[in-house]
Structure 1
Protein backbone atom coordinates (compact mmCIF):
# COMPACT_ATOMS: atom_id res chain seq x y z
CA UNK A 1 0.00 0.00 0.00
CA UNK A 2 2.71 2.47 1.02
CA UNK A 3 4.98 1.37 -1.82
CA UNK A 4 2.17 1.86 -4.34
CA UNK A 5 1.49 5.32 -2.92
CA UNK A 6 5.14 6.30 -3.26
CA UNK A 7 5.38 4.97 -6.82
CA UNK A 8 2.22 6.78 -7.90
CA UNK A 9 3.47 9.98 -6.31
CA UNK A 10 6.79 9.77 -8.16
CA UNK A 11 5.29 8.82 -11.53
CA UNK A 12 2.78 11.69 -11.43
CA UNK A 13 4.94 14.16 -9.51
CA UNK A 14 8.35 14.04 -11.17
CA UNK A 15 7.16 15.48 -14.52
CA UNK A 16 5.49 18.32 -12.62
CA UNK A 17 8.81 19.25 -10.98
CA UNK A 18 9.89 20.61 -14.37
CA UNK A 19 6.59 22.43 -14.88
CA UNK A 20 6.63 24.03 -11.43
CA UNK A 21 10.28 25.02 -11.89
CA UNK A 22 9.06 27.09 -14.82
CA UNK A 23 6.31 28.63 -12.71
CA UNK A 24 8.92 29.47 -10.06
CA UNK A 25 10.98 31.30 -12.70
CA UNK A 26 8.29 33.93 -13.16
CA UNK A 27 6.59 33.76 -9.77
CA UNK A 28 9.74 34.11 -7.64
CA UNK A 29 12.64 35.19 -9.87
CA UNK A 30 10.57 37.81 -11.70
CA UNK A 31 8.00 38.43 -8.94
CA UNK A 32 5.07 38.18 -11.34
CA UNK A 33 2.20 35.88 -12.33
CA UNK A 34 2.12 34.16 -15.72
CA UNK A 35 -1.09 32.26 -16.41
CA UNK A 36 0.17 31.27 -19.87
CA UNK A 37 1.46 28.08 -18.26
CA UNK A 38 -2.04 26.60 -18.20
CA UNK A 39 -2.24 26.94 -21.98
CA UNK A 40 1.39 26.12 -22.75
CA UNK A 41 1.17 22.95 -20.66
CA UNK A 42 -1.79 21.68 -22.69
CA UNK A 43 -0.23 22.84 -25.97
CA UNK A 44 3.07 21.11 -25.17
CA UNK A 45 1.23 17.91 -24.38
CA UNK A 46 -0.84 18.15 -27.55
CA UNK A 47 2.21 18.80 -29.74
CA UNK A 48 3.96 15.82 -28.17
CA UNK A 49 0.98 13.53 -28.77
CA UNK A 50 0.67 14.56 -32.42
CA UNK A 51 4.41 14.11 -32.94
CA UNK A 52 4.33 10.62 -31.43
CA UNK A 53 1.38 9.57 -33.59
CA UNK A 54 3.27 10.86 -36.62
CA UNK A 55 6.14 8.52 -35.83
CA UNK A 56 8.57 11.04 -34.35
CA UNK A 57 11.16 9.54 -32.01
CA UNK A 58 9.80 9.72 -28.40
CA UNK A 59 12.90 11.52 -27.12
CA UNK A 60 12.65 14.10 -29.89
CA UNK A 61 8.93 14.46 -29.13
CA UNK A 62 9.93 15.80 -25.71
CA UNK A 63 11.73 18.65 -27.43
CA UNK A 64 8.68 19.24 -29.64
CA UNK A 65 6.58 19.74 -26.52
CA UNK A 66 9.16 22.07 -24.99
CA UNK A 67 9.34 24.12 -28.21
CA UNK A 68 5.55 24.47 -28.36
CA UNK A 69 5.47 25.74 -24.78
CA UNK A 70 8.34 28.15 -25.43
CA UNK A 71 6.50 29.63 -28.43
CA UNK A 72 3.47 30.24 -26.22
CA UNK A 73 5.68 32.05 -23.72
CA UNK A 74 7.19 34.13 -26.53
CA UNK A 75 3.70 35.14 -27.67
CA UNK A 76 2.85 36.31 -24.15
CA UNK A 77 6.10 38.29 -23.99
CA UNK A 78 5.32 40.01 -27.31
CA UNK A 79 1.80 40.92 -26.15
CA UNK A 80 3.24 42.30 -22.92
CA UNK A 81 6.05 44.31 -24.49
CA UNK A 82 4.45 45.56 -27.70
CA UNK A 83 0.98 46.36 -26.35
CA UNK A 84 1.92 47.25 -22.79
CA UNK A 85 -0.43 44.61 -21.35
CA UNK A 86 0.62 43.45 -17.85
CA UNK A 87 2.09 39.95 -17.74
CA UNK A 88 -0.80 38.69 -15.60
CA UNK A 89 -3.43 39.85 -18.10
CA UNK A 90 -1.37 38.87 -21.14
CA UNK A 91 -0.95 35.39 -19.73
CA UNK A 92 -4.65 35.09 -18.98
CA UNK A 93 -5.56 36.11 -22.53
CA UNK A 94 -3.00 33.71 -24.00
CA UNK A 95 -4.19 30.79 -21.87
CA UNK A 96 -7.73 31.34 -23.17
CA UNK A 97 -6.57 31.62 -26.77
CA UNK A 98 -4.30 28.60 -26.49
CA UNK A 99 -7.31 26.43 -25.66
CA UNK A 100 -8.50 26.83 -29.25
CA UNK A 101 -4.99 26.35 -30.62
CA UNK A 102 -4.56 23.15 -28.61
CA UNK A 103 -7.91 21.83 -29.77
CA UNK A 104 -6.91 22.42 -33.40
CA UNK A 105 -3.57 20.70 -32.83
CA UNK A 106 -5.20 17.63 -31.30
CA UNK A 107 -8.18 17.56 -33.64
CA UNK A 108 -10.31 16.21 -30.79
CA UNK A 109 -10.69 16.98 -27.07
CA UNK A 110 -8.74 13.83 -26.13
CA UNK A 111 -6.21 11.80 -28.12
CA UNK A 112 -4.91 8.41 -26.99
CA UNK A 113 -1.40 7.08 -27.65
CA UNK A 114 -2.06 3.34 -27.77
CA UNK A 115 -0.74 3.21 -31.33
CA UNK A 116 2.38 5.25 -30.56
CA UNK A 117 5.72 4.45 -28.94
CA UNK A 118 6.92 6.37 -25.88
CA UNK A 119 10.19 6.58 -23.97
CA UNK A 120 8.61 4.47 -21.22
CA UNK A 121 7.64 1.48 -23.35
CA UNK A 122 8.86 -1.96 -22.30
CA UNK A 123 9.04 -1.43 -18.55
CA UNK A 124 7.01 -1.11 -15.40
CA UNK A 125 6.64 1.65 -12.83
CA UNK A 126 10.16 1.20 -11.45
CA UNK A 127 11.73 1.75 -14.86
CA UNK A 128 9.42 4.69 -15.47
CA UNK A 129 10.45 6.30 -12.17
CA UNK A 130 14.15 5.77 -12.93
CA UNK A 131 13.81 7.36 -16.39
CA UNK A 132 11.74 10.24 -15.03
CA UNK A 133 14.22 10.83 -12.23
CA UNK A 134 17.07 10.92 -14.74
CA UNK A 135 15.33 13.49 -16.94
CA UNK A 136 14.28 15.64 -13.99
CA UNK A 137 17.77 15.53 -12.48
CA UNK A 138 19.30 16.57 -15.80
CA UNK A 139 16.88 19.49 -16.11
CA UNK A 140 17.44 20.62 -12.51
CA UNK A 141 21.22 20.51 -12.88
CA UNK A 142 21.08 22.38 -16.18
CA UNK A 143 18.79 25.00 -14.65
CA UNK A 144 21.08 25.33 -11.62
CA UNK A 145 24.13 25.84 -13.82
CA UNK A 146 22.22 28.31 -16.01
CA UNK A 147 21.33 30.49 -13.02
CA UNK A 148 25.04 30.73 -12.21
CA UNK A 149 25.93 32.01 -15.67
CA UNK A 150 26.16 35.70 -16.53
CA UNK A 151 22.72 35.60 -18.17
CA UNK A 152 21.24 33.70 -15.24
CA UNK A 153 22.65 36.23 -12.79
CA UNK A 154 21.20 39.04 -14.91
CA UNK A 155 17.80 37.32 -14.88
CA UNK A 156 17.82 37.03 -11.09
CA UNK A 157 19.16 40.55 -10.61
CA UNK A 158 16.44 42.06 -12.79
CA UNK A 159 13.84 40.36 -10.61
CA UNK A 160 15.44 41.45 -7.35
CA UNK A 161 15.85 45.10 -8.34
CA UNK A 162 15.01 46.09 -11.91
CA UNK A 163 16.32 49.65 -11.54
CA UNK A 164 19.67 48.47 -10.19
CA UNK A 165 19.94 45.85 -12.93
CA UNK A 166 19.27 48.43 -15.66
CA UNK A 167 21.94 50.68 -14.21
CA UNK A 168 24.39 47.77 -14.63
CA UNK A 169 23.49 47.40 -18.30
CA UNK A 170 20.94 44.57 -17.98
CA UNK A 171 18.15 44.74 -20.56
CA UNK A 172 15.05 44.20 -18.44
CA UNK A 173 12.84 43.71 -21.51
CA UNK A 174 15.11 40.91 -22.76
CA UNK A 175 15.03 39.30 -19.32
CA UNK A 176 11.23 39.39 -19.38
CA UNK A 177 11.21 37.56 -22.71
CA UNK A 178 13.77 35.06 -21.44
CA UNK A 179 11.80 34.33 -18.26
CA UNK A 180 8.51 33.78 -20.10
CA UNK A 181 10.04 31.63 -22.83
CA UNK A 182 12.01 29.57 -20.32
CA UNK A 183 9.06 29.12 -17.96
CA UNK A 184 6.66 27.98 -20.65
CA UNK A 185 9.28 25.87 -22.38
CA UNK A 186 9.72 23.98 -19.12
CA UNK A 187 5.94 23.66 -18.84
CA UNK A 188 5.81 22.17 -22.34
CA UNK A 189 8.62 19.73 -21.53
CA UNK A 190 6.89 18.62 -18.35
CA UNK A 191 3.65 18.16 -20.26
CA UNK A 192 5.49 16.02 -22.84
CA UNK A 193 6.58 13.71 -20.03
CA UNK A 194 3.08 13.64 -18.55
CA UNK A 195 1.54 12.69 -21.90
CA UNK A 196 4.03 9.87 -22.40
CA UNK A 197 3.47 8.47 -18.91
CA UNK A 198 -0.33 8.65 -18.91
CA UNK A 199 -0.78 7.61 -22.54
CA UNK A 200 -3.04 10.41 -23.77
CA UNK A 201 -3.32 14.15 -24.25
CA UNK A 202 -6.35 16.22 -23.32
CA UNK A 203 -7.25 19.79 -24.19
CA UNK A 204 -8.12 20.49 -20.54
CA UNK A 205 -4.99 19.00 -19.00
CA UNK A 206 -3.52 22.41 -18.15
CA UNK A 207 -6.42 23.65 -16.00
CA UNK A 208 -5.26 24.30 -12.44
CA UNK A 209 -1.57 23.95 -13.28
CA UNK A 210 -0.67 27.46 -12.16
CA UNK A 211 -2.54 27.24 -8.86
CA UNK A 212 -1.03 23.84 -8.17
CA UNK A 213 2.44 25.13 -8.99
CA UNK A 214 2.20 28.15 -6.70
CA UNK A 215 0.85 25.96 -3.91
CA UNK A 216 3.70 23.49 -4.37
CA UNK A 217 6.31 26.26 -4.35
CA UNK A 218 4.93 27.71 -1.12
CA UNK A 219 4.78 24.25 0.44
CA UNK A 220 8.39 23.64 -0.51
CA UNK A 221 9.50 26.93 1.01
CA UNK A 222 7.67 26.09 4.23
CA UNK A 223 8.96 22.54 4.31
CA UNK A 224 12.65 23.26 3.79
CA UNK A 225 13.21 26.92 4.62
CA UNK A 226 16.93 26.39 3.90
CA UNK A 227 19.68 28.95 4.16
CA UNK A 228 22.73 29.29 1.97
CA UNK A 229 22.83 29.29 -1.82
CA UNK A 230 19.75 30.87 -3.38
CA UNK A 231 20.12 28.59 -6.41
CA UNK A 232 20.10 25.40 -4.35
CA UNK A 233 17.17 26.79 -2.38
CA UNK A 234 15.17 27.18 -5.59
CA UNK A 235 15.82 23.61 -6.75
CA UNK A 236 15.24 22.10 -3.31
CA UNK A 237 11.99 23.94 -2.65
CA UNK A 238 10.51 23.14 -6.06
CA UNK A 239 11.44 19.46 -5.83
CA UNK A 240 10.22 18.96 -2.26
CA UNK A 241 7.08 21.06 -2.69
CA UNK A 242 6.04 19.32 -5.91
CA UNK A 243 6.39 15.83 -4.50
CA UNK A 244 4.55 16.80 -1.31
CA UNK A 245 1.77 18.34 -3.36
CA UNK A 246 1.41 15.17 -5.45
CA UNK A 247 1.57 13.03 -2.31
CA UNK A 248 -1.42 14.92 -0.93
CA UNK A 249 -3.44 14.43 -4.13
CA UNK A 250 -2.43 10.79 -4.57
CA UNK A 251 -3.22 10.07 -0.93
CA UNK A 252 -6.61 11.72 -1.32
CA UNK A 253 -7.41 9.38 -4.21
CA UNK A 254 -6.16 6.39 -2.24
CA UNK A 255 -8.57 7.05 0.62
CA UNK A 256 -11.48 7.15 -1.81
CA UNK A 257 -11.87 10.83 -2.70
CA UNK A 258 -13.53 11.20 -6.15
CA UNK A 259 -11.19 12.41 -8.89
CA UNK A 260 -13.64 15.25 -9.58
CA UNK A 261 -12.77 16.73 -6.18
CA UNK A 262 -9.02 16.99 -6.79
CA UNK A 263 -9.27 20.59 -8.02
CA UNK A 264 -10.88 21.47 -4.71
CA UNK A 265 -8.02 19.77 -2.87
CA UNK A 266 -5.55 21.77 -4.96
CA UNK A 267 -7.30 25.04 -4.09
CA UNK A 268 -7.42 24.08 -0.41
CA UNK A 269 -3.71 23.23 -0.48
CA UNK A 270 -2.91 26.69 -1.88
CA UNK A 271 -5.06 28.39 0.76
CA UNK A 272 -3.33 26.47 3.54
CA UNK A 273 0.11 27.25 2.09
CA UNK A 274 -0.64 30.98 1.80
CA UNK A 275 -2.08 31.06 5.33
CA UNK A 276 0.95 29.21 6.69
CA UNK A 277 3.25 31.71 4.98
CA UNK A 278 1.32 34.55 6.54
CA UNK A 279 1.44 33.24 10.09
CA UNK A 280 4.64 31.18 10.08
CA UNK A 281 6.78 32.63 7.34
CA UNK A 282 6.14 36.34 7.58
CA UNK A 283 3.69 36.45 4.71
CA UNK A 284 3.94 36.00 0.96
CA UNK A 285 5.98 38.73 -0.71
CA UNK A 286 4.03 41.64 -2.05
CA UNK A 287 4.86 41.08 -5.66
CA UNK A 288 4.10 44.61 -6.75
CA UNK A 289 6.92 45.87 -4.52
CA UNK A 290 9.29 42.91 -4.57
CA UNK A 291 11.30 43.93 -7.62
CA UNK A 292 12.21 47.23 -6.00
CA UNK A 293 12.56 46.30 -2.33
CA UNK A 294 14.15 42.85 -2.12
CA UNK A 295 17.81 43.01 -1.02
CA UNK A 296 20.43 42.37 -3.66
CA UNK A 297 21.96 39.70 -1.39
CA UNK A 298 19.22 37.29 -2.47
CA UNK A 299 20.86 36.90 -5.84
CA UNK A 300 23.93 35.19 -4.42
Structure 2
Protein backbone atom coordinates (compact mmCIF):
# COMPACT_ATOMS: atom_id res chain seq x y z
CA UNK A 1 0.00 0.00 0.00
CA UNK A 2 1.24 3.49 -0.84
CA UNK A 3 2.31 5.81 1.95
CA UNK A 4 0.81 9.10 0.78
CA UNK A 5 2.97 12.11 1.56
CA UNK A 6 1.73 15.38 2.96
CA UNK A 7 2.40 17.04 -0.39
CA UNK A 8 0.21 14.62 -2.32
CA UNK A 9 -2.52 14.95 0.30
CA UNK A 10 -2.51 18.73 -0.19
CA UNK A 11 -2.85 18.29 -3.96
CA UNK A 12 -5.60 15.69 -3.67
CA UNK A 13 -7.56 17.73 -1.15
CA UNK A 14 -7.50 20.74 -3.48
CA UNK A 15 -8.46 18.65 -6.52
CA UNK A 16 -11.31 16.88 -4.76
CA UNK A 17 -12.71 20.13 -3.40
CA UNK A 18 -12.70 21.67 -6.88
CA UNK A 19 -13.97 18.42 -8.38
CA UNK A 20 -17.10 18.45 -6.23
CA UNK A 21 -18.15 21.76 -7.77
CA UNK A 22 -17.19 20.65 -11.28
CA UNK A 23 -19.39 17.56 -10.97
CA UNK A 24 -22.31 19.75 -9.95
CA UNK A 25 -21.65 22.20 -12.77
CA UNK A 26 -21.27 19.36 -15.25
CA UNK A 27 -24.77 18.23 -14.38
CA UNK A 28 -26.07 21.65 -15.37
CA UNK A 29 -24.32 21.86 -18.76
CA UNK A 30 -26.74 19.47 -20.46
CA UNK A 31 -29.66 21.76 -19.60
CA UNK A 32 -27.79 24.76 -21.00
CA UNK A 33 -27.36 23.14 -24.44
CA UNK A 34 -30.85 24.28 -25.44
CA UNK A 35 -30.57 27.83 -24.14
CA UNK A 36 -30.19 30.75 -26.52
CA UNK A 37 -27.14 32.04 -24.72
CA UNK A 38 -25.44 28.65 -24.76
CA UNK A 39 -23.17 27.06 -22.16
CA UNK A 40 -19.89 28.79 -23.07
CA UNK A 41 -19.99 31.49 -20.40
CA UNK A 42 -21.16 29.00 -17.80
CA UNK A 43 -18.26 26.62 -18.51
CA UNK A 44 -15.79 29.50 -18.36
CA UNK A 45 -17.09 30.40 -14.91
CA UNK A 46 -16.88 26.75 -13.83
CA UNK A 47 -13.25 26.67 -14.98
CA UNK A 48 -12.42 29.88 -13.12
CA UNK A 49 -14.19 28.80 -9.95
CA UNK A 50 -12.32 25.48 -9.93
CA UNK A 51 -9.00 27.26 -10.36
CA UNK A 52 -9.78 29.67 -7.53
CA UNK A 53 -10.67 26.79 -5.23
CA UNK A 54 -7.43 25.00 -6.04
CA UNK A 55 -5.40 28.18 -5.69
CA UNK A 56 -6.85 28.97 -2.26
CA UNK A 57 -6.20 25.46 -0.97
CA UNK A 58 -2.63 25.28 -2.26
CA UNK A 59 -1.78 28.80 -1.11
CA UNK A 60 -3.00 27.98 2.38
CA UNK A 61 -0.74 24.93 2.51
CA UNK A 62 2.37 26.49 0.90
CA UNK A 63 2.06 30.30 1.12
CA UNK A 64 5.52 31.03 -0.28
CA UNK A 65 5.27 28.89 -3.43
CA UNK A 66 4.55 30.37 -6.85
CA UNK A 67 1.91 29.34 -9.38
CA UNK A 68 1.51 28.80 -13.11
CA UNK A 69 -2.19 28.50 -13.92
CA UNK A 70 -4.21 28.28 -17.12
CA UNK A 71 -6.60 31.06 -16.17
CA UNK A 72 -4.64 33.10 -13.62
CA UNK A 73 -1.26 33.07 -15.34
CA UNK A 74 2.01 33.16 -13.43
CA UNK A 75 2.17 34.28 -9.82
CA UNK A 76 5.71 34.54 -8.51
CA UNK A 77 6.67 33.01 -5.18
CA UNK A 78 9.93 32.56 -3.31
CA UNK A 79 12.40 31.75 -6.14
CA UNK A 80 14.14 29.22 -3.89
CA UNK A 81 10.93 27.23 -3.47
CA UNK A 82 8.94 25.02 -5.86
CA UNK A 83 5.96 26.22 -7.86
CA UNK A 84 2.52 24.79 -8.55
CA UNK A 85 1.41 24.13 -12.14
CA UNK A 86 -2.39 23.96 -12.35
CA UNK A 87 -4.96 23.10 -15.01
CA UNK A 88 -8.36 23.30 -13.32
CA UNK A 89 -10.29 21.79 -16.23
CA UNK A 90 -8.43 19.85 -18.90
CA UNK A 91 -10.98 18.76 -21.48
CA UNK A 92 -13.10 21.90 -21.56
CA UNK A 93 -14.67 21.00 -24.92
CA UNK A 94 -15.75 17.62 -23.55
CA UNK A 95 -17.23 19.38 -20.52
CA UNK A 96 -19.02 21.83 -22.79
CA UNK A 97 -20.63 18.99 -24.75
CA UNK A 98 -21.61 16.91 -21.70
CA UNK A 99 -18.94 14.30 -22.39
CA UNK A 100 -17.77 12.93 -19.02
CA UNK A 101 -14.05 12.88 -19.82
CA UNK A 102 -12.09 15.74 -18.25
CA UNK A 103 -9.64 16.20 -15.41
CA UNK A 104 -7.92 18.47 -12.92
CA UNK A 105 -4.13 18.46 -13.21
CA UNK A 106 -1.73 19.72 -10.51
CA UNK A 107 2.07 19.42 -10.55
CA UNK A 108 4.98 20.63 -8.44
CA UNK A 109 8.18 21.79 -10.13
CA UNK A 110 11.48 22.56 -8.39
CA UNK A 111 13.80 25.46 -9.25
CA UNK A 112 16.74 24.37 -11.39
CA UNK A 113 19.93 23.84 -9.41
CA UNK A 114 21.98 25.65 -12.04
CA UNK A 115 19.45 28.46 -12.35
CA UNK A 116 18.79 27.59 -15.99
CA UNK A 117 17.15 24.18 -16.31
CA UNK A 118 17.14 21.80 -19.26
CA UNK A 119 14.85 24.08 -21.26
CA UNK A 120 16.34 27.40 -20.14
CA UNK A 121 13.30 28.33 -18.07
CA UNK A 122 15.08 28.37 -14.73
CA UNK A 123 13.00 25.43 -13.55
CA UNK A 124 14.03 21.83 -13.00
CA UNK A 125 12.34 18.52 -12.33
CA UNK A 126 8.69 17.92 -11.63
CA UNK A 127 8.70 16.20 -8.24
CA UNK A 128 4.98 15.50 -7.77
CA UNK A 129 1.91 15.34 -9.97
CA UNK A 130 -1.76 14.49 -9.70
CA UNK A 131 -4.48 14.01 -12.32
CA UNK A 132 -7.97 13.75 -10.89
CA UNK A 133 -11.04 12.69 -12.89
CA UNK A 134 -14.07 14.02 -10.99
CA UNK A 135 -16.67 11.88 -12.78
CA UNK A 136 -14.96 8.51 -12.20
CA UNK A 137 -13.36 9.66 -8.94
CA UNK A 138 -9.97 8.38 -10.15
CA UNK A 139 -6.92 10.00 -8.58
CA UNK A 140 -3.69 9.31 -10.49
CA UNK A 141 -0.63 10.58 -8.63
CA UNK A 142 3.14 10.26 -8.64
CA UNK A 143 6.17 11.51 -6.78
CA UNK A 144 9.71 11.50 -8.11
CA UNK A 145 11.44 8.18 -7.29
CA UNK A 146 8.31 6.94 -5.43
CA UNK A 147 6.38 5.52 -8.36
CA UNK A 148 2.98 6.23 -9.90
CA UNK A 149 -0.30 5.26 -8.30
CA UNK A 150 -4.05 5.12 -8.83
CA UNK A 151 -5.34 5.72 -5.32
CA UNK A 152 -3.27 3.11 -3.42
CA UNK A 153 -2.59 0.77 -6.36
CA UNK A 154 0.84 0.89 -7.99
CA UNK A 155 0.78 1.70 -11.71
CA UNK A 156 2.96 0.24 -14.42
CA UNK A 157 2.87 0.95 -18.12
CA UNK A 158 1.67 -1.94 -20.25
CA UNK A 159 3.96 -4.81 -21.17
CA UNK A 160 3.04 -4.75 -24.86
CA UNK A 161 6.05 -4.68 -27.14
CA UNK A 162 4.43 -5.19 -30.55
CA UNK A 163 3.16 -2.16 -32.43
CA UNK A 164 0.31 -4.13 -33.99
CA UNK A 165 -1.10 -4.73 -30.48
CA UNK A 166 -0.69 -1.14 -29.31
CA UNK A 167 -3.49 1.34 -28.59
CA UNK A 168 -2.20 4.88 -29.05
CA UNK A 169 -3.71 8.16 -27.88
CA UNK A 170 -3.29 11.48 -29.66
CA UNK A 171 -4.52 15.03 -29.85
CA UNK A 172 -5.68 16.47 -33.18
CA UNK A 173 -5.08 20.08 -34.29
CA UNK A 174 -8.23 22.21 -34.08
CA UNK A 175 -9.41 25.81 -34.41
CA UNK A 176 -6.24 26.87 -36.24
CA UNK A 177 -4.09 25.47 -33.44
CA UNK A 178 -1.35 23.04 -34.33
CA UNK A 179 -0.01 21.80 -37.66
CA UNK A 180 -2.63 19.64 -39.36
CA UNK A 181 -0.26 18.64 -42.16
CA UNK A 182 2.37 17.44 -39.70
CA UNK A 183 -0.23 15.51 -37.71
CA UNK A 184 -1.48 13.84 -40.89
CA UNK A 185 2.04 12.72 -41.82
CA UNK A 186 2.62 11.28 -38.35
CA UNK A 187 -0.74 9.52 -38.45
CA UNK A 188 0.08 8.06 -41.86
CA UNK A 189 3.27 6.54 -40.41
CA UNK A 190 1.90 5.30 -37.09
CA UNK A 191 -1.76 4.55 -37.85
CA UNK A 192 -1.35 1.55 -40.19
CA UNK A 193 1.14 -0.10 -37.81
CA UNK A 194 -0.82 -0.07 -34.54
CA UNK A 195 -4.02 -1.72 -33.30
CA UNK A 196 -5.89 1.58 -33.13
CA UNK A 197 -5.66 5.29 -32.33
CA UNK A 198 -7.89 7.27 -29.98
CA UNK A 199 -8.51 11.00 -29.60
CA UNK A 200 -10.14 11.57 -26.20
CA UNK A 201 -9.64 15.31 -25.74
CA UNK A 202 -7.79 15.63 -22.42
CA UNK A 203 -4.00 15.31 -22.61
CA UNK A 204 -3.49 14.99 -18.86
CA UNK A 205 -5.81 11.97 -18.75
CA UNK A 206 -4.26 10.49 -21.89
CA UNK A 207 -0.85 10.52 -20.19
CA UNK A 208 -2.33 9.12 -16.98
CA UNK A 209 -3.84 6.32 -19.07
CA UNK A 210 -0.40 5.54 -20.52
CA UNK A 211 0.88 5.26 -16.95
CA UNK A 212 -2.04 2.98 -16.08
CA UNK A 213 -1.46 0.70 -19.10
CA UNK A 214 -4.73 1.66 -20.81
CA UNK A 215 -2.86 3.37 -23.66
CA UNK A 216 0.49 2.07 -24.91
CA UNK A 217 1.60 5.44 -26.25
CA UNK A 218 0.54 9.02 -26.89
CA UNK A 219 1.61 11.98 -29.02
CA UNK A 220 0.47 15.57 -29.33
CA UNK A 221 1.82 19.03 -30.11
CA UNK A 222 0.96 22.59 -29.12
CA UNK A 223 0.18 21.84 -25.48
CA UNK A 224 0.82 24.10 -22.50
CA UNK A 225 2.88 23.05 -19.50
CA UNK A 226 -0.22 22.72 -17.32
CA UNK A 227 -1.59 20.13 -19.77
CA UNK A 228 1.34 17.73 -19.44
CA UNK A 229 3.41 18.51 -16.31
CA UNK A 230 1.72 15.95 -14.05
CA UNK A 231 1.21 13.43 -16.86
CA UNK A 232 4.87 13.36 -17.88
CA UNK A 233 5.87 12.45 -14.32
CA UNK A 234 3.14 9.80 -14.09
CA UNK A 235 4.39 8.01 -17.20
CA UNK A 236 8.04 8.11 -16.12
CA UNK A 237 7.29 6.89 -12.61
CA UNK A 238 5.19 4.07 -14.08
CA UNK A 239 8.20 2.84 -16.06
CA UNK A 240 7.52 4.53 -19.38
CA UNK A 241 9.43 7.08 -21.44
CA UNK A 242 8.51 10.67 -22.37
CA UNK A 243 10.32 12.92 -24.83
CA UNK A 244 9.68 15.74 -27.22
CA UNK A 245 9.66 15.04 -30.95
CA UNK A 246 13.44 15.64 -31.07
CA UNK A 247 13.96 12.90 -28.53
CA UNK A 248 14.87 15.18 -25.61
CA UNK A 249 13.66 14.03 -22.19
CA UNK A 250 12.69 17.41 -20.76
CA UNK A 251 11.10 17.74 -17.29
CA UNK A 252 7.90 18.89 -19.03
CA UNK A 253 7.26 18.14 -22.69
CA UNK A 254 4.53 20.46 -23.93
CA UNK A 255 5.32 21.96 -27.34
CA UNK A 256 5.58 18.35 -28.48
CA UNK A 257 5.23 15.18 -26.45
CA UNK A 258 5.70 11.51 -27.23
CA UNK A 259 5.03 9.04 -24.42
CA UNK A 260 5.22 5.29 -24.57
CA UNK A 261 6.08 2.06 -22.85
CA UNK A 262 9.69 1.04 -22.50
CA UNK A 263 9.24 -1.39 -25.37
CA UNK A 264 7.47 0.94 -27.79
CA UNK A 265 8.72 4.51 -27.31
CA UNK A 266 11.84 4.08 -29.48
CA UNK A 267 9.85 2.51 -32.32
CA UNK A 268 7.17 5.16 -32.15
CA UNK A 269 9.85 7.86 -32.18
CA UNK A 270 11.48 6.32 -35.24
CA UNK A 271 8.17 6.43 -37.11
CA UNK A 272 7.49 9.97 -35.93
CA UNK A 273 10.98 11.14 -36.93
CA UNK A 274 10.49 9.64 -40.38
CA UNK A 275 7.23 11.54 -40.76
CA UNK A 276 8.95 14.79 -39.78
CA UNK A 277 11.59 14.57 -42.51
CA UNK A 278 11.09 16.89 -45.50
CA UNK A 279 9.41 15.02 -48.34
CA UNK A 280 9.82 15.54 -52.04
CA UNK A 281 6.23 14.41 -52.54
CA UNK A 282 3.88 17.43 -52.25
CA UNK A 283 0.99 15.08 -51.46
CA UNK A 284 2.86 13.92 -48.35
CA UNK A 285 3.29 17.51 -47.20
CA UNK A 286 -0.45 18.20 -47.14
CA UNK A 287 -1.83 14.70 -46.90
CA UNK A 288 -5.22 14.02 -45.43
CA UNK A 289 -5.83 11.53 -42.64
CA UNK A 290 -5.86 8.03 -44.03
- TM-score, length of structure 2 as denominator length: 0.25
More strand by share: 2
Q: Which has the higher contact order (CA 8 A, sep 6+)?
A: 1
More helix by share: 1
